[in-house]
Structure 1
Amino acid sequence: MDRHYIESLRLNEINEDSYIKDLPVIQNLMQGNDLNLNHDVIFLVGENGVGKSTLIEAIAINAGFNPEGGSKNFNFETRNTTSNLHQYITLSKGAYEKDGFFLRAESFYNVASEIDEYYKDEFNAKVSTSFGDVSLHNQSHGESFLSLVQNRFWGNGLYILDEPEAALSPSRQLTLLAEMHMLVKNNSQFIISTHSPILLSYPNACIYQITEKGIEAIEYSDCEHVMLTKQFLNNPESFFRYLFEEK
């Protein structure tokens, strides 16, 4: 894509006392550093608590998506746990998408329920074209994730995913990579929060590693998750000696 749907993110002044000021990802942005999102695939990676999901949620809401997930046509609320970070960011857009979806693992059940409710009167007639011939609740967690991507992600779209690997086996993560690649070739952009070394391997992706020191663009081989996984697989016994050592 010559011009991406979201090209950069800027944090505006946060004029209130809020926990979001203490998140490492926000500390970096508060220094006036715009986040370059002008890539086909962008990954946010880092330890729990650094603010990955908070930031990706804010991007999705600011871009017009429902906080709990879904397309821009979804408008429901199961429980309001949304931060107000979206009020303090500005997204720079280079083009306007024809399709889009916000997929987050923690509230996917609620999205599936909303889909069933929306189609309850004519579900069988419409579900085959968008959600894989069967209610997402009647599929396994992983199957429903992939069914959504394969049947509902139509291309020319902005797709924001929060830890999609939560429902997927390693082989299904590879399937997701293949689906992503087809969508990227069809003028799509992905912004993904993940812990998965498999997903992070997508060729030429932009990887932002978020630590207590801030945000850094890194190569795949330099990602802490990748290095740790490789070290463990190469020599798990050395980890066991440390982890299981009697105190």
Structure 2
Amino acid sequence: MYLRSVQFMKEKVENARQYPFNIPAIQSLQRLEFRNNITFFVGENGSGKSTLLEGIAHQCGFNTAGGGRNNVFEMHASESSLGDYLRLAWLPKITNGFFMRSESFYQFASHVDEMGTLEYYGGRSLHEQSHGESFLNLFVNRFSSKGIYLLDEPEAALSPARQLSLLRILHDLSGTSQFIIATHSPILLGYPDADILNFDDISIQKMAYEDTEHYQITRSFLENRHRMLDELFKD
């Protein structure tokens, strides 16, 4: 591992009632330690998982609209409000890595075309591929050993089969790279022995895979589809 912990310096925040500092998981955050090469952030929309991931990307020097240290392009609302109040502890410090942000991937792909750096992404424009293909090509060609990779909902464009392909990529790189991934995918969360941090409670807590809502709801639906749909559609 490279990133050992992130500390929230809340004493420097002037208005703790302002977003994103008023998110319960962020309010209660003091020091979050990483003990695994693969860590998942889980929680409902608005729980703070993507906000913290973006703040970490900011402190890593990555473009918070998506990319690495050398990817500079403008995008509305890409500045991290939380990032300036975080302190990262490294052992050792590493600068190689990437912040993958699903919602701004189109803008990132356009940036790659403009820069003429397609050789680092499989030699073909990311816009000339399906959404899922472009995501996987990014993972295969841009991710390498000895890096830290921050992924915000990478499953957004991936079919279940391609999510399994991503699991294989994580497996191949986990010995020399560190991944922190915000996700809703029960498939990705199933990666063996990964740490899962839940943002839905007042404080961020580690939890077992089988205890996640993602696993429980998915399993219940697959095993009791008709009963769950009948209940859902009942007047």
Note closer, same or farther for the CA distance 1:23–1:169 as it changes in structure 2 (3 Å cut): same
Aligned partners of 1:203, 1:106: CA distance in 2, in Å?
27
- Residue pair 2:64, 2:78 contacting (<8 A) in 1 also: no
For residue 91 of structure 2, what is the aligned residue in structure 1? 94
Following superposition of structure 1 onto structure 2, how do residues 105-184 of structure 1 map, counting pairs within 5 Å?
A: 105-119=102-116, 127-128=118-119, 130-184=120-174
- Residue pair 2:63, 2:69 contacting (<8 A) in 1 also: yes
Aligned partners of 1:22, 1:80: CA distance in 2, in Å?
18
Letter in 2 for 1:132: G
Query: Cα distance, 1:61 vs. partner?
Result: 0.7
Which of 52, 66, 71 is the matching residue for 1:69? 66
TM-score (norm 2): 0.94
Cα RMSD over matched residues?
1.3
For residue 220 of structure 1, what is the aligned residue in structure 2? 209
Aligned partners of 1:171, 1:55: CA distance in 2, in Å?
28
Question: Which runs of 5 or more structure 2 residues have no equivalent in the other structure?
Answer: none
Superimposed CA distance per residue, residues 86-118 of structure 1 (whole angstroms, 9 cap, x where no aligned partner): 011111111133621110100001110000000
Q: Kindly, what percent of the aligned residue pairs are identical?
A: 47
- Residue pair 2:113, 2:125 contacting (<8 A) in 1 also: yes
Following superposition of structure 1 onto structure 2, how do residues 46-57 of structure 1 map, counting pairs within 5 Å?
A: 46-57=43-54
TM-score (norm 1): 0.90
Query: Cα distance, 1:15 vs. partner?
Result: 2.0
Aligned partners of 2:78, 2:141: CA distance in 1, in Å?
29
- Residue pair 2:21, 2:82 contacting (<8 A) in 1 also: no
For residue 79 of structure 2, what is the aligned residue in structure 1? 82
Secondary structure, aligned partner of 2:20: helix
Aligned partners of 2:141, 2:21: CA distance in 1, in Å?
39
For these two proteins, the number of residue pairs brought into alignment is 232
Letter in 2 for 1:84: S
Superimposed CA distance per residue, residues 213-235 of structure 1 (whole angstroms, 9 cap, x where no aligned partner): 32110111111111111111110
